Amino acid sequence: MILTMNQENTDIKTVRVYGLDVIRAFAIIFVLIGHSFEHSKIAPEIQVFGRLGILGVELFFVLSGYLIGTIIMRLIDEGRLHSISDINEFWKRRWLRTLPLYFVVLLAFLRFDYHGRHELLDFPDYFVFMQNFAYKIPEFFELSWSLAIEEHFYLWFPIAFFVLERITKRARLAIVLAAVSFLIVAYTFRLSHPQFQDWNEYNRTIRLTVLSRIDAIMFGVLMAAIKRYWGFGFEWIRRGTAITAVLLVLLCTWWFVNAPYLMQSRALQINLYTVQAVLCALLLPWFDALRSINARGGFIVLTSKLSYSLYLVHILVIIAVNRLLSHLGLFDQVYGNPFILYPLYFVFFYFVSWVTYHQIEEPFLRLRDVPKTWQNIAKGSWVFVLACVLLATVF
């Protein structure tokens, strides 16, 4: 999708771009496959494709940077991101989009985690997205690692731009300098660590931490800047998509054969995720130009719309399905058969996500663009409030 202005009320609305929906849909499907393949009994030759989940999150990062970068640059060009009140308005819109469902799912994980029930304040850092800022994320609600990275991007990038614009007096230069500063932070963080000998340690310390991975989003921001201010460069990158695709396929193949030499090379450990993010970002111009022959977009657009819900709820769905099968005495018969288990997972992935999207996400999206009266707030948030109260007090 891309972002356009509604000329009647100057609020930012979204107009879907099919190619970007394709990226988002594939990204979430890769993640769902990756986590589903951790269950049941499947051949190792098939299970390796679960590593596409790593690529899926990378696609989310660059796409998020691209879309939010487009919003930010449009606001800047229209003089709507040049004061603290402008930044505050940007934050409010982003947080109405991302926080309600996150907090519902966080409370659900506190009650229904793999490891058992937790108390409300057992993990207070998760409520302020500090669970993986510069250190390994706890073994709880681990998929929130990427959400923490995105929230820190929403928080700090506008501030960095605001400060740099005051210094340079040039908006375009400030955008690029802000993005580059985050790239430097991530690279410096990775350089500060010695070579890892263990994949799990490397994964949790480097791949899953905010300071190490915030550069991935910045490549999306830079691609948005190239499109907006240097269109000839955007077109040049689009024409090189075939080369980018070949390189990305080679990288995926390397993951499928267990990432040889990764634990033997510090240079590879430092640069791997930067290269991966760059390759994903270089795909954006081609997908940005892709259009659908189906006006509604079908399954792709549906999956794209539900992607945030799908990402947040799918682990809870896996937990719930597995526990339900045990309760019904069907676990042994179903869990070991991927041809039954995986379709069951995916049916419930989509059903639960459809409910959470329409009952929690969508009402808050509407709330961003209406007067903040008590009536509108109550109408938009009552399901969210009820879910939080039930999870906090009843379960």
81-95, 308-322, 363-377: range with highest mean pLDDT: 308-322
Written as six digits, the tokens of 383 are 């399901």
The residue behind tokens 């709507």 is 80
User: What is the distance between the alpha carbons of residues 224 and 72, in angstroms, rounded to a whole number?
Assistant: 10
Residue 362 maps to a domain: no
- Residue pair 115/139 in contact (Cβ under 8 Å)? The answer is yes
User: What is the distance between the alpha carbons of residues 40 and 128, in angstroms, rounded to a whole number?
Assistant: 35
- Residue pair 273/211 in contact (Cβ under 8 Å)? The answer is no
Residue 305 maps to a domain: no
Residue 331 maps to a domain: no
End-to-end CA distance of the chain: 38
Does the pLDDT at position 266 exceed 60? yes
Does the pLDDT at position 2 exceed 70? no
% of the chain exceeding 90 in pLDDT: 86
Looking at residues 195-214, what average pLDDT do you find? Answer: 96
% of the chain exceeding 70 in pLDDT: 95
The residue behind tokens 């709880």 is 140
4 has which bridge partners? Answer: 13
- In angstroms and rounded to an integer, the radius of gyration of the C-alpha atoms of the chain is 21
Does the pLDDT at position 6 exceed 60? no
pLDDT band at 204 (very low <50, low <70, confident <90, very high): very high
**pTM, whole model, 2 decimals?**
0.93
Looking at residues 371-393, what average pLDDT do you find? Answer: 91
Pairs from 86-92 (Cβ < 8 Å, separation ≥ 24)? 87/158, 87/159, 87/162, 90/154, 90/158, 91/154, 91/155, 91/158, 92/368
User: What is the distance between the alpha carbons of residues 13 and 67, in angstroms, rounded to a whole number?
Assistant: 12
| Type of residue found at 371 | P
Based on the number of CB atoms within 10 Å of its own CB, is 379 exposed (0-12), middle (13-18) or buried (19 or more)? middle
The closest alpha carbon to 64, from 308, 356, 350, belongs to 308
Residue 167 maps to a domain: yes
- Residue pair 106/144 in contact (Cβ under 8 Å)? The answer is yes
Looking at residues 31-40, what average pLDDT do you find? Answer: 95
pLDDT at 116: 87
pLDDT at 45: 87
Does the pLDDT at position 175 exceed 90? yes
Q: Give the number of domains in the chain.
A: 1
pLDDT band at 4 (very low <50, low <70, confident <90, very high): very low
Looking at residues 181-205, what average pLDDT do you find? Answer: 95
- Residue pair 11/369 in contact (Cβ under 8 Å)? The answer is yes
Q: Give the residue numbers spanning the domain of 272.
A: 2-99+117-296
**Helix ranges restricted to H, the chain:** 18-36, 44-47, 52-77, 84-112, 145-168, 171-191, 199-202, 210-229, 231-239, 241-256, 266-282, 284-288, 298-327, 331-335, 338-356, 362-367, 374-389
pLDDT band at 295 (very low <50, low <70, confident <90, very high): low
pLDDT at 115: 87
14's enclosing H/E stretch is strand 12-15
Residue 221 maps to a domain: yes
pLDDT band at 14 (very low <50, low <70, confident <90, very high): low
Q: Under DSSP, is residue 258 helix (H, G, I), strand (E, B) or coil?
A: coil
pLDDT band at 9 (very low <50, low <70, confident <90, very high): very low
Residue 313 maps to a domain: no
Does the pLDDT at position 3 exceed 50? no
pLDDT, one tens digit per residue, over 104-163 is 999 999 999 988 899 989 999 999 999 999 999 999 999 999 999 999 999 999 999 999
Cβ neighbours of residue 228 closer than 8 Å, sequence gap 6 or more: 70, 73, 77
- Residue pair 77/61 in contact (Cβ under 8 Å)? The answer is no
Looking at residues 313-330, what average pLDDT do you find? Answer: 96
